[in-house]
Each structure stands twice: as structure tokens, then as C-alpha cells.
Chain A
Amino acid sequence: MKEKNNRNTDRRKFLKVLGSGAIASTSVFYGCKQTNNFSVGKSDAGNVPIDKMTCRITPNTGDKVSILGYGCMRWPTRPKAKGVGDVIDQDAVNKLVDYAISHGVNYFDTSPRYIMGLSEKATGIALKRHPRDKYYVATKLSTFPDDRQLRSREGSLDMYHNSFKELQVDYIDYYLLHGVGIGGMDAIKERFYDNGILDFLLEERKAGRIRNLGWSYHGDVAVFDYLLSLDIKWDFVQIQLNYVDWKHASGWNTNAEYLYGELSKRNIPVVVMEPILGGRLAKLNDYLVAQLKQRRPEDSAASWAFRFAGSFPDVLTVLSGMTYLEHLQDNIRTFSPLEQLTNEDLVFLEETAQMLLKYPTIPCTECKYCMPCPYGLDIPGVFAHYNRCINEGNIPKSIQDENYRKARRIFLIGYDRSVPKLRQANHCIGCNQCIEACPQQINIPKEMERIDTFVEQLKQGTTL
């Protein structure tokens, strides 16, 4: 795995950043309840606290934001009653939102792109049932690489106004330029400058229809540096931060250590996305899970990743796309209140990250930006199966492997079970249309070819 080391500060420096940041920001950030006592142990596993959520306060608008933010990219779906495909299960969404709000979660992050474009509407319906001052809603000016019309001024304005309609609100608390950095400098110029849309959004902020303006960032670090160098006051920035990306960002992504450091320097609150890498840090291999459990037997593997992200004082909220109530409950427990990581914990997580990287899993977070593949592939499905088999030790390397036959059977049968035959890797034609869409910069066609070759070897029994 390639690393971007040039900007890495070493671990000592990292701890210093964390420590000094904590001191510097105590005046700005404090818990919403004064019961924010870090030494208090977690309550019983069955008990989900309703009034202990750690909160952070934004410097510009004074919003008291829960450290756990709800990512609305993974709402539960169900098959359509008529015809093919899935729709969002609105009843389930309502339940989750009610539960979240009643347990102190107040930040909801959506986008016109999420879940086949259905997320904003579903989120709006669920939130509408609560008083407007009980929640903050974040949405984005998304990028549709395939559709020039949507990137034009008119298209962008339509998208902006439509978000108000879908969310049923007259102001948006947090508005983001979506996915800046994907496609590099040219893409951002074309998307937000040339059409004058950035100026428009700044005006909207002045008018109060946007309370906080920021951007979410993936990819080219030049864009990140450029946006920070502008004479614009950014209210917040959303970055990918977790204990793997801190020092070992994959592909062309930039280490979170650098990104966080730059934002922290400027006192810009950080919204964290992918704190558990789309579930990858929750579904670790058995060895790593045992390591984590040994330290805190009652805590989930995911809770470590959430505590990591929350431990940085300039982090405003940590987004999690919770499809299931159990995940929501687990995260509420983790953050009610947040128990900060010790320096020792941080060293331990860095070791965990290094061990994790030794497993050749594909860094897919199942964000589905690449979908739908025009040739019908289930890209996240293929990667998820492959990763699961790696974590469970079912990727035989050699025909001499002790468990070769068993692993082969598990891989092949499991492959057909989790991905329909026509959506498997061998149908990837390498048209490369997905490459640009991937925020993790995975070379999807290449990985598909690699998995396909592996599957062929298993089928033919020609693994070395």
C-alpha cells in the first residue's frame, strides 16, 4: 500500500497536536450536559443513555452538535411492491430518526445523490415530524460527473432549491460542496467557479438560508490546500478520518493527520466521514477483534474507531451511516459520553492499523458512488465478499495450503450466494467509467480483473 509520508508528522508530534488542541479548544468546546465526566464507566450493555451524549459547539453559529452525526447514505431499504428495485423503508427511517433524536443525536447529513437520489426526501419526511430547532441538517451540492447539465449554473441552482423542497426546510444548517478533490483542480474549477455557483452560495449564507458553508473532501490534496488558501471563511470541512487513514491513507487520498492538522490550525471544525471505513473497521479479522476485545471486552470493534475519531477536539461530529438500530444503539453508548482515548490507546490503534494493512483487503467502504455499473456488476458486493474471505482466512494462496479445499468451497459457494452470477467480477469489461467515481481511488476494473483471475484459478484448480 502506498503511503503519503511526506506530510506525515511522527507519532510524538501527533500526540502533541492532540494534546495542545485539547487544551486550546476547551474554551470553545464543551459537553452539552455538565455531566461530561470521562471517568464514568459505560452503562450496562442493554441500557442506552438518553441524556449523556457528548456535544461540541461550533465557533461561528454556536450550534451545539452531538458528537455522533447521522449519515443518511445507508437508510434501510426494501424491495419495491411493484416492479424491480428497492425503495427506502420510510417507517424504518422514521423509527431510527425518532430514536436518534430522543437519544441526543441532532446532526443529519444527506445529499441529493445518496441511495439512488431518494435519501434527501426520506430524511426530510422523518425530520419534519420533529421541531425544527431539535436537529441540524446537512446536505450538499453534489457532483454528477456524467451529467453536464447538472453541473451548469441552472442545474446547480435547481439542485440547491430542490434540496429545500425535499428536506421541507427554509434554511439549511450545513451546506457542503460535495466531494471536492475528486477529479483534481480542473474539476473543482469547472464545478464551482466557472459557473459562479460558489459566489451564489456565499450570498445565500449571508441571507441566512445557509447557516454554515463548508465542503467535503476526497482525493487530490492540491484542492484541499487551495480551498484553505482562499479568502473565504469556511464554517466547517468534512474529511475522511479514522485510525487507518490517519497515517495510511489509501490510493491518492491524503493522510488525515495532515488534513486535520491544517484545519485545526485554522480553527475550522471538522466533520468526520468514514470513521469505520464503511464497516471495515467494525468487521475486522478474528485476530484483531481479539486484540481489541482483550482491552475492553464489552466494547465493540467499531467503538474503538468511533472513539478515535471523537477524541480529536476539533472534530465537530462523527458521521455514521447506521442502517440498523443496533448500530445506532452501540454508537450512542460509545458517545454517551465519549471516553477519550489515552496515548497508549492511540499507539495501540496505530499498531492495529499497521496489522490491518498487512491483510490485502480492498479499501471499499460500500458508498456505492460507483453504482449502478452500466454493465450490471455489483461492485461493492464483489469487494465485500472478497474482503470477508480475506478476514476469515478463506483466500487460499497455494494448493498446498492446509485448508485449500475448504477455503475454495467457501469462497466459491459464498461468492455465488452473495453476488448473482451475472453481477460477478468476470462481467467487468474494463470500461473504466467507475474509476473516477470512487472516493477511495480504488482502481475498480483492475481489482475486478485480479479477483476474476483468482476465481478462475480456484475454479480450474490451478492455484499454485
Chain B
Amino acid sequence: MLQKIRRTAAIICFILTSLLFFDFSGILHHWLGWLAKIQFIPALLALNVGVVFMLIAMTLFFGRVYCSVICPLGVFQDFVSRVAGKRKKNRFTFSPALHWLRYGVLFLFIIAFISGLGLFVAFLEPYSIYGRIASNLIAPLYQWVNNLLAYFSERINSYSFYSVDVWIKSILTFVTSIVTLVVIAVLAWCNGRTYCNTICPVGTILGFFARYSLLKPVINPEKCNECGLCSHNCKASCIDPKAHKIDYSRCVACMDCIDRCRRKAIKYELRKKTSRVEIGISPQIVGKNSNSRRNFLSTTALFAVATTLKAQNNVDGGLAIIKDKKNPVRLTQITPAGSFGASNFTQHCTACQLCISVCPNQVLHPSNRLASLMQPEMSYERGYCRPECVRCSEVCPSGAIKAITTSDKSSIQIGHAVWIKENCVVKTDNVSCGNCARHCPVGAIHMVPDDANNKESLKIPVINTERCIGCGACENLCPSRPFSAIYVEGHERHRII
């Protein structure tokens, strides 16, 4: 029963959280946005005290149900492990906790967390790992299905579906997602919750609290015949049937053992006073672990080769060929309005890719810079930061992008436009243009005669950088290709104008 409740809740949570990464229409976030905001590390980064307190209280009460219900990566591993379990029954054995690894990783994680080393945090944090897998590897499938529906919907003259561009936003992040997916899937396939109980910092932190949880599965030694069935089915490998003991710091409260036990010797009940856990080290287990590590290394090598998917430009005979725009080299990266600037952004962002998944204008994509690797960065080759949209700020769970309104946005300067004379079509093609000025939402660009003495001469754009908000409309709509004649240089710290 308990297992069924856990499973149902986990499946619902998992699907809904995943949908956050798939839904590009922005409708679901309105209803389900909170699912991302109750994730542990994002809540911690957002200084969302209420949520952190609630999660800890929950753990103190029920054990690590967070790991088996709320955490999408945890549920994902359960899924993989379940499939593996179909092929080989009773495949787990008790293994002692790898304290040095767990606490070592946690220690490094805390150091990185405090010193604002986003990359390290992003690599280990479970929600972000899942976010990257979902948005890089699963969302494209979802979008393809959507595009197929859009294709048919177009043919029956319906407007229920519209097609979206599917593109690799960053090769590096794409490859990273594949590698992490494979590593975690292999670990889950072989050893269940290995990642959760050896690497995951959230698992370690919550495990610490779970030791003292009010409710927990307890083995009744009088009923137990030491058959070991519970232990063989414990994906956390934390039940020692001989000693009738469970390592609660690793137990994710999945309730599988309760259901498994034929003698109903395990009950989910109030903790007993003397339930102190003792763990011995068995050399046999260590060997097994190293085996999985070898597995892991070989699979990583396998995936070092990346495949590229390139959306084709549709060009008809009577139409001029349009070159793809290229991202210019920017001295300072551009971060979304609401993030206050690069330093605040990198410190808070866990690179979960949620904002990238929802950006309807294809402005956000994972960064390739070392300091902000995989964290979102803005560029305007495919679209620009449109005035009516503040979706990234609405969905960000970790406080890296604070919620803003469209009117806030119209006065936040995230960068400023720079004109490159050599690229401007007024100069190169000798035609009148002014597309940048025409589309500037804040009127920061004016067209002035190229020759000050000749009012009839072609007009060139001049930028009032004080009024420019850095939205990139000018850069995106500039006819000069592949490099625009006007581009946005980011601001270290955003200003209100």
C-alpha cells in the first residue's frame, strides 16, 4: 500500500516536473511552476527558507521521501532500476556506506557553493542534472511529436498546434547531458541508488536528517527469518538482514522492502529509542563498486563522439539565400533581466535549463564559457528578447533570475548596442535601411545623415546607449549577415534606467 502511494505520487511528480521542461507554450508553468521551486538546492540558492525548512521537516518526519518522490532524478533512477530488475531478480546486496566519498563530495560541494563555483554545483546537483537531460535529450522528442501534430493540424486547417524549432543550443551541454545520463543510468541499472547515496549532496544532507526521522521502516527481529529478500530488493543497498538493521541515512523510504517481506516483518512506524545504526565494511562490496566505475569509464568513452543535428534553412528558388547569423564575440556575456548581473547570476544558477526550455524567442542557450559553463547566456542570432515576455524570470527556481514584470523589463539595462560601421548595409550596399531604429522598443536608435553636410545622404544609425536596454531587436533584425552591423555588449551589473 505504502509502496503504491509512493509510486503514484512519484510518477505524478515526475511527469509534471518533466512537463515543465517540455512545455514551450508557457501555460503549464502557471500551474506547476512550484514543482521546480520546491527542489532542494534551487530553494536553498533562492534563500527560500520556507521551502528548505519544509523539506527538512518532511525528512525528519517521513525519512527521505524527497528522494523517492520529489526528486525527478531519483524517480528516473528508480525507473531504470525497475527495468533492470525485471531482467534479474533480487539483484541487490547490502553494502556499507562510503562515508569518505559521501562526505568528501558534500564538503567539496559546500565549498563550491559558498565560493560560487557554479560549475561544480551544476555538475552534482540532481535537479539540474535531470533538467539538462530533460531539456537536451527528451524535450526534442516531445517537440518533434508536437511538430508532427502541427504538421497534421496545418493540413486540417487547425491552429491547435504550432511547430517549434528543434536545435542543439550548445554542443558542450548536449554532450554533458548525454554523458551524465549514461553514467547515471548505468549506475542505476547495476546498483540502484548509487548516485544518490554516494555522490548526491542533497542525498547526503537529507540522509543526515533522515537518521532521526520520526517514521521509518523497522525490521521486527522476532518475525524476520533472515531470508534476505528485503535486502536483495533494496535499491539503496542499505538493509543488513543479518543484523536486522537499516541504514536510514541511505534509505530513501521507497517502501519496497515492506511490500516484499513475506513475513510482514518490516513496518513503517515510529522510531524506537535504540535504533542506532551500525555499519561494517565488507571488502566484497568495494570490489563491486570499482567494477561499476570501470563500466562508467568505458561508456563515457563511447559517447565522446557527438552527433550534430542541423536544422535546414528552407530556401526556394525565387528567394534569396539567407545566411545564418553568427554570435559575435562579446566582452561581457548578456544575462537575462531580473538577474541583476553576471556575478549574482552565476552564483545562483544551477544550470537546470528550465529557463532555456521555456524561452520562446530562442534567445537563451547554455554558455560555453568556463566560468558559467552550461548556465544560460543570451544571444540574438535566432531571436531577440521580446518586450512582452518575462518567462525566464517566472520559472527560475533558484533566484538566479528574479521575477520581474514587463514594465520592469522595459527599464532594465542588461547591455547596450554597439554599431559596427563596416558591416552596415547602408555602407556596404549603399541602400537606405533603418531596420534597427524602426524596431528599437525604447527608441534608443536614431537615423542621422551619413554626411553631416548633406541632409539627403543615406542615414546611419546612432545609439543613445543611456536609453538602450540591450534587448537585441536591432542585432537580430539587422540585415547584415552573418555578423550583424549592430550588436549588444552585456553589462556586468544591470542598471535601472
Chain A contact residues, CB within 8 Å of chain B = 77, 80, 84-87, 115-116, 368, 371-376, 378, 409-410, 413-414, 416-417, 420, 422-423, 426-433, 449, 452, 459-461
Contacts and interface: CB of A to CB of B under 8 A. Distances in A.
Given A378-B319, A417-B154, A430 B387 contact: no
B159 interface: yes
A431 B154 contact: no
Q: Which 8 A-B pairs have the closest CB atoms?
A: A86-B317, A85-B317, A431-B431, A84-B315, A429-B433, A376-B322, A413-B162, A460-B388
B477 A86 contact: no
B433 A430 contact: yes
Interface in B375-416: 386-388
A413 B316 contact: no
B479 interface: yes
Contact of B388 (A116, A414, A461): A461
A111 B433 CA distance: 32
B317 A87 contact: yes
Contact of A427 (B318, B386, B477): B477
B321 interface: yes
Contact of A86 (B159, B316, B388, B438): B316
Contacts of A413: 159, 162
B169 interface: no
Contacts of A374: 320, 429
Contacts of B36: none
Nearest to A445: B432
Interface string B85-129: 000000000000000000000000000000000000000000000
Contacts of B432: 429-432
B318 A428 contact: no
A382 to B, nearest CB: 12
B425 A429 contact: yes
A371 B318 contact: yes
B314 interface: yes
Given A417-B162, A433-B431, A460-B387, A427 B479 contact: yes
22 contacts: A85-B315, A116-B317, A371-B318, A371-B319, A372-B318, A373-B319, A375-B320, A378-B316, A413-B159, A416-B163, A417-B162, A422-B313, A422-B322, A427-B479, A428-B435, A429-B425, A430-B432, A430-B435, A432-B431, A433-B431, A460-B386, A460-B388
B159 A414 contact: yes
A115 B317 CA distance: 9
By CB atoms of chain A within 10 A, which of B316, B319, B386 has the most? B319
B433 A426 contact: no
Given A413-B162, A427-B479, A376 B320 contact: yes
A204 B319 CA distance: 36
B6 interface: no
Interface in B217-272: none
B321 A409 contact: no
B490 interface: no
The B contact surface, by secondary structure, is loop
A286 to B, nearest CB: 14
Nearest to A414: B159
B286 to A, nearest CB: 57
Contact of A420 (B159, B314, B425, B479): B314
Given A414-B159, A416-B162, A459-B386, A429 B318 contact: no
A375 B159 CA distance: 29
A73 B431 CA distance: 30
Nearest to B321: A84
A80 B314 CA distance: 12
B439 interface: yes
A319 to B, nearest CB: 20
Interface in B157-214: 159, 162-163
A196 B51 CA distance: 88
Contacts of B162: 413, 416-417
A420 B154 CA distance: 15
Looking at chain B, what size class is its interface with the partner chain? 20 to 34
Contacts of B477: 426-427
A86 B431 contact: no
Contacts of B435: 426-430
Contacts of A459: 386, 388
Given A116-B317, A371-B318, A429-B425, 14 more contacts: A77-B317, A86-B316, A86-B317, A115-B318, A116-B318, A368-B318, A371-B319, A378-B316, A414-B159, A417-B162, A429-B431, A431-B429, A431-B431, A432-B432
A427 B438 CA distance: 11
B472 interface: no
A423 B315 CA distance: 10
B320 A373 contact: yes
Nearest to B387: A460
A146 to B, nearest CB: 13
A77 B434 CA distance: 35
Contacts of A368: 318
Nearest to A449: B438
By CB atoms of chain A within 10 A, which of B162, B318, B386, B439 has the most? B318
A409 B159 contact: yes
Contacts of A371: 318-319
A363 to B, nearest CB: 20
Contacts of B386: 459-460
Contacts of B154: 417
Contacts of B439: 426
A116 B431 CA distance: 24
A428 B434 CA distance: 10
Contacts of B431: 429, 431-433
A432 B425 CA distance: 13
A393 to B, nearest CB: 14
A450 to B, nearest CB: 12
A85 B434 contact: no
A139 B432 CA distance: 35
Contacts of B434: 429-430
A423 B317 contact: no
Nearest to A416: B162
Contacts of A431: 425, 429, 431-433
Interface in B410-466: 425, 429, 431-435, 438-439
B315 A372 contact: no
A376 B323 CA distance: 10
Nearest to A78: B317
Contact of B320 (A87, A372, A409, A410): A372
Given A414-B159, A417-B154, A459-B388, A85 B320 contact: no
Contacts of A116: 317-318
Contacts of B320: 372-376
Nearest to A380: B318
B14 to A, nearest CB: 31
Contacts of A84: 313, 315-317, 321
Contacts of A428: 435
Contacts of A115: 318
B317 A429 contact: no
A410 B159 contact: yes
Interface string B132-168: 0000000000000000000000100001001100000
Interface string B318-359: 111110000000000000000000000000000000000000
B347 to A, nearest CB: 33
A87 B434 CA distance: 35
Nearest to B435: A429
Nearest to A459: B388
A365 to B, nearest CB: 15
Contacts of A433: 431
B318 A423 contact: no
Contacts of A410: 159
A138 B186 CA distance: 73
Contacts of B387: 460
B317 A80 contact: yes
Contacts of A86: 316-318
A416 B314 CA distance: 13
Contacts of B314: 420
B175 to A, nearest CB: 28
